[in-house]
Amino acid sequence: MSGVRVIIYTGKGGVGKTSLAAATALSAASFGHRVLVISTDNAHSLGDSLGVPLGPDPVPVRENVWGLEIDVLTELERHWKAVREYLLALLASQGVEEITAEEVVVLPGMELIAALLRLDELGAEGRYDAAILDTAPTADTLRLLSFPNAVEWYFNHIFRLQRRLTRVVRTTVGHAMRTPLPSDSFFDTLSELHVRFTRVRELLTDPTRSTVRLVVNPERMVISETQRAYTYLCLFGFTVELLVVNRVFPTEATGGYFAATRGEQQANLGTLRELFGELPQLSVPRYPTEVIGLGALDRLGRDVFGENDPLRRWSSEPPIRFRTRGGAPVIEIALKHPDPKDVELAQKGDTLFLRVGPYRRTIVLPVAYATGHVEKAFFERGTFVIRFSSRRKA
C-alpha cells in the first residue's frame, strides 16, 4: 500500500462531502492519476452524484477514474465466511430464525469495518495511485477511523486468552454445551483481520500517505460540529490537511431575498478564519443548480483546486508527537478547540487513557514513557502537553 495516496472527506451530514470527493477524483484523473473513489456511507449517494450505477466492485467512471460503493453483505461472504457462519450458528442455537439471523449478523458499524478492509485489499493490488473516501457523517467517520486502535487493544489484551480458554472448554465441557463454540477457522480469520487492520492503521496514520479534509458550510451549527471533529481527529492521530468551505453565497447575492443569508455567512467565514487559522482553507461557491453529473463535478473541481493538483498535501504535520523537554519525555497532542473541563487523563501500566468529550484514545506507551508516570499535563498554544517523570513512582 506504500504507493497509494488516501484522502478522506468527512463532515456533518449534508455539507457536500460526496460531491467534493467525486470532483476530487475527476480532477485528479485530469493530472494523469489513477483514482478510485469509494463510498463508505451505508446510505450511498456517490453513484447518483456521478450519474453512474456503482456496486461492490470498482466500476469505470471515466478514463483513470473508478467508483465503488461498499456492500457489507458482499464483504461478509467474501472475506469473513468463518465469522459469518459462527454468528449464524450462535443465533440459531438461541432460536433465531434463519432469515432473521441473516439480518442480525450484519452488526451496527460493520459497513465501516468492511470499508477499511476493502481499502487494504485495493491498496495491495497496486492498480490505483489514490483512493478518495466519501464517508458517512462525522460521528460514524470517527468510529471508522478509530476502529483499528480498538482492534489492536483487543488483540493485545484479550484475543490470545480467549482462544486458549475456548480450546480448554472445547476439550472438557464443550460437548455438553448447547451454545456453539468458535472454531479454529473463526480465530484464524480474526488473526488475519488483525494483520490487515494493522496495515490499515499504519496507512491511515502516516501523514505522508493519508490525510483528512474537513468539509464545512458557513453555518454556525455546522462550524461547531466541525470544530469538535477536528479535535477528535487530532486525538486519534489523523492528519487534517485542509478545510473546504462549501456553498458560499457569491457577491451576486448581496441584494434581495438572500442578502441577510450572505451577511450571516460572511460573519461565519470570519469565525472560521479565527478558529482554523492554522489550517489551509479553500472555498466553494454555492451554485444555482444541483451538482450532479460529470460536467457539474468537473466545474466544481476547477472551482475548488484551480490549477493545483488535487492530490497535493496542504499540510502533513502529525497531530501527536513524542519528544523530550528538559530531559523529560513528553507527548504533544494537537487539540485545537477542547474545553479543559472535558479532558480526562489516566495511566495504567504501559497504557495511557485520554478522553475528550465522548471520545477515548488508548495510547500504548514506549518504554521511556511506560517506566515513568504522568507528572504534569497542560495546554500550550493549541497543544495538550503531557510530561512524564523519567522513572515510575514507587
Domains of the chain: 1-313 (3.40.50.300), 320-388 (2.60.40.790)
Convert 80-96 to b/e letters by CB count within 10 Å (16 or more is b): bebbbbbbbbbbeeeeb
Residues sharing a CB contact under 8 Å with residue 262, sequence separation 6 or more, in sequence order: 249, 253, 254
Convert 354-365 to b/e letters by CB count within 10 Å (16 or more is b): bebeebebbbeb
| Antiparallel, parallel or unpaired: β 130-134 and 35-39 | parallel
pLDDT at 64 over 60: yes
pLDDT at 73 over 50: yes
List the one residue out of 392, 393, 355 whose CA is nearest residue 377. Answer: 355
Identify the pLDDT of residue 7.
94
Poorest-confidence range of 60-69, 207-216, 218-227, 314-323? 314-323
Copy the grid coordinates of residue 139.
Answer: 460521528
Section 113-123 average pLDDT:
75
pLDDT in tens, 273-295: 877 867 899 999 999 899 999 99
Identify the pLDDT of residue 394.
46
pLDDT at 55 over 70: yes
CA dist., res. 95 & res. 161, Å (int):
29
CA dist., res. 22 & res. 18, Å (int):
6
Asked if 128 and 36 touch (Cβ cutoff 8 Å), the reply is yes
Identify the pLDDT of residue 222.
93
For residue 324, how many C-alpha atoms fall within 13 Å in the half-sphere facing its CB? 6
Phi-psi region of 146 (alpha: psi -120 to 50; beta: other; left: phi over 0): alpha
pLDDT at 186 over 50: yes
CA dist., res. 209 & res. 4, Å (int):
7
CA dist., res. 269 & res. 323, Å (int):
35
| Average pLDDT score, the chain | 80
Q: Supply φ then ψ for residue 343, to 5 degrees.
A: -105, 130
CA dist., res. 2 & res. 348, Å (int):
34
Poorest-confidence range of 154-158, 235-239, 377-381? 154-158
pLDDT category of residue 166 using cuts at 50, 70 and 90: low
List the one residue out of 11, 31, 62 whose CA is nearest residue 312. Answer: 31
Residue predicted with more confidence, 99 or 201: 201
Rounded to 5 degrees, what angle do the CA atoms 94, 75, 108 make? 50
Poorest-confidence range of 107-121, 192-206, 306-320? 107-121
Q: What is the CB neighbour count within 10 angstroms for residue 195?
A: 11
Q: Longest Cα pair distance anywhere in the chain, in angstroms?
A: 80
Q: Supply φ then ψ for residue 290, to 5 degrees.
A: -65, 150
Section 205-233 average pLDDT:
88
pLDDT category of residue 1 using cuts at 50, 70 and 90: very low
